[in-house]
């Protein structure tokens, strides 16, 4: 094969997949039909899990000026009464990053693509379109056409389709998507606000749950603000995108001389999930596999989770460290996670988009009662599930399998400070609570020399050994106490394979993982994996 991976599409999802592939040493070709990055914002929100991945890739500092922590969202009914608040979790942050962010997509894409220059195993061809993908032997033969018309053919063991919601590859294969019954026409307007006018705008994000025209307002980084407006039945996408129509809509907040229109685009907000995520070693990621309404800022996040879930599995199979059966867990894990998140987002969209005045009044009364009974606002990250199936420990008395593993700020034995991932890397990690003897864990690791694994242990006072880390904020120690857990085995995508109450239990987790990775067939793996 010419390549281990061929990635179609270099938007954020494809660019993350290419970076992850390079970090795992996979020989990768990434192509995109565009010659350059699209210079307008599209995706607008990312979360702590995605920022952790960016940190793992080494671009977090580069994009610092292009991201801003996400503000609380208020759901306001007609007349301005607040009927719901969704807030980000506060510090100390469990994953080492603020819970949610808004960001400038062109800047983030630029950092992701620039980072590929540091990864010698990754080649990028822009202005290049995939004409056909044909199964051939253990992989695929791919016909490419460059912007000058020249054609060439390459072979790849695996093809990753990150080619968007209209995915030509998905269309050619005739793969079906499940329709979760949400279809609403909206217009998204991005503006740059004059500094002197910023004080006139809301300080929070607002969902205007108004029957006349549901709309959204989101605070972006710097001078960037976004409005999203429903398109009414007596309007067309073309007419509402005209500058005069946009100015009329925004006149509720600003006068025309107080801002510059950056972008306006009409969309239909859909809730769709692909039924088959892989065919003939061709995998689907991002919008090619699912479409999520924007009301929880999870569209791009879902796609980056796809890449984070899949690439390390492909790497382990290519390296001979796992059987092909491991790849079956991609759909087993990602489809229910995406479907659950999309349904939650759809529910929020239905709250916002209610147009019937009587039903809206019922909604307002019910949600006001819910607010009065709640201890505080809904925490945004509580709406995102963990993993429920796939490569997880069959037995986990601690109840931590499938959860995201925390990332504390630590000091190592040399006195260096940083986030834990900066010391361990994004590989398999066997992490122990303070005082857990490492000998049993080291012996278990020695039994599986082919498994990419790092040992780490929290230190009580000072970090004295090469595997010891002293935590600075108590996040991970508190997590261990909360779950009655002494050892956690963590996957490269930061999800917990399983937890144990002792070093011996941790060693058993590692033996169990090695057995599952070596399962020789899809049937054997499915019988062994957690239901």
DSSP 256-323: GGGEEEEEEEEEEEEEEEES--EETTEEE-GGGTEE--GGGS-HHHHHHHHHHHHHHHHHHHHTTSS-
**Which token pair is 448?**
């599986």
Lowest mean pLDDT among 197-211, 280-294, 329-343, 462-476: 462-476
SS3 label, residue 65: helix
Lowest mean pLDDT among 32-36, 194-198, 393-397: 393-397
SS3 label, residue 152: strand
Confidence of residue 463 (pLDDT cuts 50, 70, 90): low
User: CA-based angle 150:154:159, to the nearest 5?
Assistant: 120
What percent of the chain lies above the pLDDT cut of 70? 98
Rg (CA), the chain: 24
The pLDDT of residue 529 is above 70: no
For residue 240, how many C-alpha atoms fall within 13 Å in the half-sphere facing its CB?
Answer: 21
Calpha distance 377→315 (Å, rounded): 41
The pLDDT of residue 34 is above 90: yes
User: CA-based angle 61:66:71, to the nearest 5?
Assistant: 110
Backbone φ and ψ of 62, nearest 5°: -65, -30
Q: Evaluate whether 387 touches 491 at the Cβ level (below 8 Å).
A: no
Residues 6+ apart with CB under 8 A from 90: none
pLDDT at 526: 47
Calpha distance 79→327 (Å, rounded): 52
Which helix (DSSP H) or strand (DSSP E) does residue 420 occupy? helix 420-424
For strands 290-291 and 378-379, give the pairing: unpaired
Q: What is the DSSP letter of 404?
A: B
Average pLDDT over residues 75-81: 92
Q: Evaluate whether 391 touches 529 at the Cβ level (below 8 Å).
A: yes
Calpha distance 457→486 (Å, rounded): 10
Confidence of residue 528 (pLDDT cuts 50, 70, 90): very low
pLDDT at 73: 95
Calpha distance 279→92 (Å, rounded): 42
Q: What is the pLDDT of residues 213-264, one digit of tens each?
A: 999 999 999 999 999 999 999 999 999 999 999 999 999 999 999 999 999 9
Calpha distance 407→473 (Å, rounded): 10
Please provide the size of the chain in residues: 531
Nearest of 40, 32, 31, 23 to residue 2 by alpha carbon = 31
Q: Evaluate whether 271 touches 292 at the Cβ level (below 8 Å).
A: yes
For tokens 């995520």, what's the residue?
Answer: 277
List of domains in the chain: 3-66+102-177+273-345 (3.50.50.60), 409-528 (3.40.30.10)
The pLDDT of residue 446 is above 80: yes
Average pLDDT over residues 19-37: 97
Q: How remote is the C-alpha of 207 from its chain's centroid? A: 23
Q: What is the pLDDT of residues 407-443, one digit of tens each?
A: 999 999 999 999 999 999 999 999 999 999 999 999 9
Q: Which residues of 95-117 are buried (b: 16+ CB within 10 A; e: fewer)?
A: bbbbbbbbbbbbbbbbbbbebbe
pLDDT at 521: 56
The pLDDT of residue 517 is above 70: yes
Average pLDDT, the chain: 94
Q: Evaluate whether 290 touches 162 at the Cβ level (below 8 Å).
A: no
Confidence of residue 523 (pLDDT cuts 50, 70, 90): very low
Report the sign of the C-alpha dihedral through residues 299, 301, 303, 306, in that order. Answer: negative
CB atoms within 10 A of CB 385: 15
Confidence of residue 71 (pLDDT cuts 50, 70, 90): very high
Residues 6+ apart with CB under 8 A from 382: none
For strands 128-136 and 139-146, give the pairing: antiparallel
Calpha distance 453→447 (Å, rounded): 12
pLDDT at 530: 41
SS3 label, residue 5: strand
Calpha distance 21→10 (Å, rounded): 13
pLDDT at 54: 97
pLDDT at 527: 41
**Which token pair is 41?**
């914002």
Calpha distance 228→322 (Å, rounded): 46
Average pLDDT over residues 179-183: 93
């Amino acid at each position: 094969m010419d390549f281990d991976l061929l990635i179609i599409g270099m938007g954020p999802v494809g660019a993350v997949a290419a970076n992850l592939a390079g970090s795992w040493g996979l020989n990768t070709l990434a192509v995109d039909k565009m010659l350059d990055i699209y210079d307008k914002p599209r995706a607008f929100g990312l979360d702590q899990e995605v920022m952790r991945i960016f940190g793992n890739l080494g671009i977090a500092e580069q994009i610092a000026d292009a991201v801003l922590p996400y503000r609380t969202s208020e759901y306001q009914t007609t007349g301005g009464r607040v009927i719901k608040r969704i807030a980000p979790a506060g510090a100390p942050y469990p994953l080492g990053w603020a819970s949610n962010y808004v960001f400038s997509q062109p800047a983030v894409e630029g950092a992701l693509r620039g980072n590929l220059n540091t990864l010698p195993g990754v080649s990028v061809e822009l202005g290049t379109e995939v004409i056909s993908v044909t199964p051939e032997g253990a992989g695929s033969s791919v016909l490419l056409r460059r912007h000058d018309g020249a054609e060439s053919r390459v072979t790849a063991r695996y093809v990753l389709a990150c080619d968007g919601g209209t995915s030509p590859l998905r269309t050619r294969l005739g793969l079906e998507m499940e329709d979760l019954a949400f279809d609403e026409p909206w217009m998204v307007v991005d503006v740059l606000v004059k500094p002197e006018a910023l004080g006139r705008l809301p300080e929070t994000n607002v969902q205007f749950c108004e029957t006349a025209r549901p709309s959204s307002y989101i605070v972006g980084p710097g001078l960037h603000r976004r409005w999203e407006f429903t398109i009414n039945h007596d309007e067309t996408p073309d007419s509402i995108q005209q500058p005069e129509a946009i100015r009329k809509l925004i006149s509720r907040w600003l006068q025309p001389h107080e801002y510059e229109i950056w972008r306006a685009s009409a969309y239909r907000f859909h809730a769709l999930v692909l039924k088959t995520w892989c065919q003939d070693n061709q995998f689907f990621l991002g919008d090619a596999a699912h479409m999520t309404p924007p009301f929880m800022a999870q569209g791009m996040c879902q796609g980056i989770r796809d890449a984070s879930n899949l690439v390390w599995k492909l790497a382990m199979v290519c390296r001979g460290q796992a059987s092909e059966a491991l790849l079956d867990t991609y759909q087993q894990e990602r489809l229910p996670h995406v479907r659950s998140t999309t349904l939650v987002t759809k529910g929020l969209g239905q709250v916002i988009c209610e147009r019937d005045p009587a039903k809206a009044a019922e909604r307002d009364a019910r949600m006001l009662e819910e607010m009065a009974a709640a201890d505080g606002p809904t925490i945004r990250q509580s709406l995102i599930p963990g993993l429920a199936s796939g490569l997880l420990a069959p037995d986990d008395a601690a109840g931590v399998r499938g959860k995201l593993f925390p990332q504390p700020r630590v000091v190592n034995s040399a006195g260096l400070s940083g986030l834990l991932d900066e010391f361990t890397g994004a590989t398999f990690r066997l992490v122990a609570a303070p005082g857990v003897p490492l000998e049993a864990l080291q012996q278990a690791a020695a039994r599986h020399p082919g498994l990419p694994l790092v040992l780490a242990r929290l230190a009580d006072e000072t970090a004295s050994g090469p595997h010891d880390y002293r935590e600075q904020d108590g996040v991970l120690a508190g997590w261990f106490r909360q779950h009655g857990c002494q050892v956690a085995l963590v996957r490269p995508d930061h999800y917990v394979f399983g937890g144990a109450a002792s070093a011996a239990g941790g060693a058993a987790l590692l033996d169990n993982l090695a057995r599952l990775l070596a399962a020789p067939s899809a049937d054997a793996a499915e019988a062994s994996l957690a239901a």
